Chains A and B, each alone.
Chain A
Amino acid sequence: MVCESLIREGVEHIFGIPGGAILPLYQVLPEYKKLKHILVRHEQGAAHAADGYARATGKAGVAFATSGPGTTNLVTGIMTAKMDSVPIVAITGQVGRPVIGTDAFQETDITGITLPITKHNYLVMDINDLGETIKEAFHIATTGRPGPVLVDIPKDILQGNGVFNYPENVNIPGYKPNTSVNQKQIKRACELIKKSKRPVLLAGHGIKISKAYDELLELAEKCQIPVINTLLGLSSFPANHFLYCGWPGMHGMAYSNLILDQSDLIIAVGMRFDDRITGNPDKFALASKKIHIDIDASEIGKIIHADVPIVSDAKIALSNLVKSVEEKTHVAWLNQIDRLKNNHPSLALRDTEKLLPQFIIKELHELTNGDSIIVTGVGQHQMWAAQHYTFNDKNKIITSGGAGAMGYEVPAALGAQIGRPNEMVWSIAGDGGFQMTMSELATISENNLPIKFAIINNGFLGMVRQWQELFYEKSYVSTSYKGIPDFVKLAEAFDIYALKVTDKTQVKPAILDAIKHDGPVLIDFIVESEENVYPFIPSGATVQDMMEEPSSQEIKQ
């Protein structure tokens, strides 16, 4: 019944691991040839892979896990999908109904545990509800602001027979995502845009989710409004466009932060004013009025007051704005922005013989024509990847944003590669995060997925070390890894081709070798160990506190 439901939802791939409670479901899987199951090595991998798959394809990702530890291992992945609005449906086995509540073997209250980290969850207690519940789960996961939905099914229901009722449509009285836009607010927004002398579009993940790429471009060009992306919004606007102005925040471009600070109107679309962008929200972009477009009404006014709130899907709101606004030019503002860009280059590389991580990313960008799908974990390598690999094409970066989940890079790359088999996937990994989920190398090898791993190996939990350097007088408590495995030998143990790079001159040949190799490749880049990410606005600070470049003392070292 579950498999039949999944097929009706157009599911093709499932990531999971079987176990006692979910076994009845697994045993019938071979009868459904359209469903391809990817056997991961840890359930966190299943959830992250489903997430990577969903971000790469725009379809819901599906994860299976068994009761108890199987389900709790999903938790980090579910929370990551919740924070970044990613549609995944987790189907978990539960102990049989008669023993629920008795602390049976591998019993856990997974609906209780995932209550705050799912968009919604279900414990199915009647077999006749099963079809309708799964239909609802997919509907809730993929519509409105997407998010993870978990369906917990007791073993005796998976074993039982019932009436299979799979409704064509769903009617959930408490769930009606907005499908229109308030024309009064569109009119007010147009008036603000008309009056504005220094407008800026701040485009987030919502652009990619609602596929509003063309509408964003049209609005930007029609009114000559510069575009800044959020981290998750990267690759929603071509980086080679003259109106593109980078991304802001804690490690964003200095000029992007300054543009936001100096603008008189921020048109925020499909984003939620995360603290990594605003710093201290009481001092964020005080000179500007804000138009805030988001499908989730609770995000509007949560952190930053919206002068014009527009609760709407990004595509609908932007197409309405494009229709209604008057054409405009902002020559003086664009000149001012050019000066900011010239005075704050931000991403210039130091001239050094040392192997800098930034240099590797730049080379990678050049050698892959900036056309690969980039998957990252969390930390310094993520920031360097986002800074130095620029995206002209749509939906090319997959990264853990709100959750900041280290280890995301390995299983999410797995999911992305399965979702988009004809594109090259580069997983840019940190040595710390990689060690958290490297067991999925087995899955990757088993399925011969041609993912290319670039481990930015500095032997540290680099971002934490950077904070210790700047805020705790270089007291490197528990951030230095003494027993890092030899990643090349490790990859070989998984039958994956691997290379080690210790010198600047080896970077280009190694990347070219990886691109040529037909199958998964791992490159272990042994980089400068105490390199910092700049620019840097400390947590809760303001644009005035921005550290733009390494201090001169640091350069001498």
Chain B
Amino acid sequence: MTIKDTKNIIPTRTVTALVNDKPGVLNRITSMLRRRGFNIQSLAVGHSEIDHLSRLTVVVEGGDDIVEKITKQLHKLIDIIKVNDISDDNIVSRELALIKVNSDTKTRSEIMQIVAIYRAKIVDVSSSSIIIEATGDDQKIQALQNLLSSFGLIEVMRTGLIAMNREKNK
């Protein structure tokens, strides 16, 4: 759990980008981030509403100056059409997690209560374990994971954050 603790101290910024949906584009992005020594916490990419273009959300470690350098470098890549640092905007951000946790007849109901409180879902049950599906922002997933850890985590898989601006005039 020490890794998680230090993670919480590092400031992060959320950057989204519109990129060409072509072979090797993700490689160009990660290669640039690696070689310039930028750290990323998560990177999620998938099709967008526009043909041949994908949207990417990357959570980077560092403050304003670092994120400015990252967005400028990303912008320089020919296959990146648009880059936005949306950290200071009014955004909706979500992440999906699958958490497999130890569970027997004694602990099952307690786990189900936690799952209910966090509005997560149980998607698989066996005699010795449960798989939980949870969506939410980073903090919520982290909190759920912390609570479940006392039962013994078997496997955790997270998609990384995706984020979107809210409409301005509601």
Contacts and interface: CB of A to CB of B under 8 A. Distances in A.
B165 interface: no
A297 interface: yes
Nearest to A172: B78
Contacts of A172: 78
A174 B73 contact: no
A59 to B, nearest CB: 21
Contacts of B28: 115
A522 B27 CA distance: 46
A174 B27 contact: no
Interface string A348-391: 00000000000000000000000000000000000000000000
Contact of A140 (B27, B73, B78): B78
A301 B78 contact: no
Contact of B24 (A111, A119, A302): A111
A296 interface: yes
A112 B27 CA distance: 9
Contact of B81 (A120, A140, A174, A302): A174
Contacts of B73: 298
Contacts of A111: 24
B32 interface: yes
A471 interface: no
Interface in A285-305: 296-298, 301-302
B35 interface: yes
A301 B65 CA distance: 9
Contacts of B20: 174
Most central of B65, B76, B77 by chain A CB within 10 Å: B76
B121 interface: no
A125 to B, nearest CB: 8
A116 interface: yes
Interface in A80-121: 111-112, 115-116, 119-120
B76 A296 contact: yes
Which of B68, B69, B78: most chain A CB closer than 10 A? B78
Nearest to B32: A116
B53 to A, nearest CB: 9
Interface residues on A, range: 10 to 19
A483 interface: no
Nearest to B20: A174
Interface residues of B, number: 20
Contact of B68 (A116, A120, A174, A301): A301
A120 B31 contact: no
Contacts of B79: 174
B15 interface: no
Contacts of B75: 297-298
B84 to A, nearest CB: 14
Nearest to A125: B23
A337 B24 CA distance: 53
B47 interface: no
Contacts of A116: 31-32, 35
Nearest to B82: A174
Interface in A146-196: 172-175
Interface string B112-132: 000000000000000000000
B80 interface: yes
Interface string B58-80: 00000001001100110111111
Contacts of A120: 78
Nearest to A296: B76
B27 A115 contact: yes
A175 B27 CA distance: 18
Contacts of A119: 78
A346 B73 CA distance: 39
A211 to B, nearest CB: 23
B13 to A, nearest CB: 16
A175 B24 CA distance: 17
Given A297-B72, A298-B73, A301-B69, A115 B78 contact: no
Contact of B76 (A112, A115, A298, A301): A298
Contact of B72 (A112, A140, A298): A298
B69 A175 contact: no
A298 B73 CA distance: 6
A298 B28 CA distance: 17
A500 to B, nearest CB: 45
Contacts of B81: 173-174
Interface string A297-331: 11001100000000000000000000000000000
A295 to B, nearest CB: 11
Interface string A194-217: 000000000000000000000000
Contact of B69 (A115, A123, A174, A302): A302
Nearest to B70: A298
Nearest to A136: B78
A172 B81 CA distance: 9
Nearest to A119: B78
Contact of B31 (A115, A140, A175, A301): A115
11 contacts: A112-B24, A115-B27, A115-B28, A140-B78, A172-B78, A174-B78, A174-B80, A296-B76, A297-B72, A297-B76, A301-B65
Given A174-B77, A174-B80, A296-B76, 11 more contacts: A111-B24, A112-B24, A115-B24, A115-B27, A116-B32, A116-B35, A123-B24, A140-B78, A174-B20, A297-B72, A301-B69
Interface of A: 111-112, 115-116, 119-120, 123, 140, 172-175, 296-298, 301-302
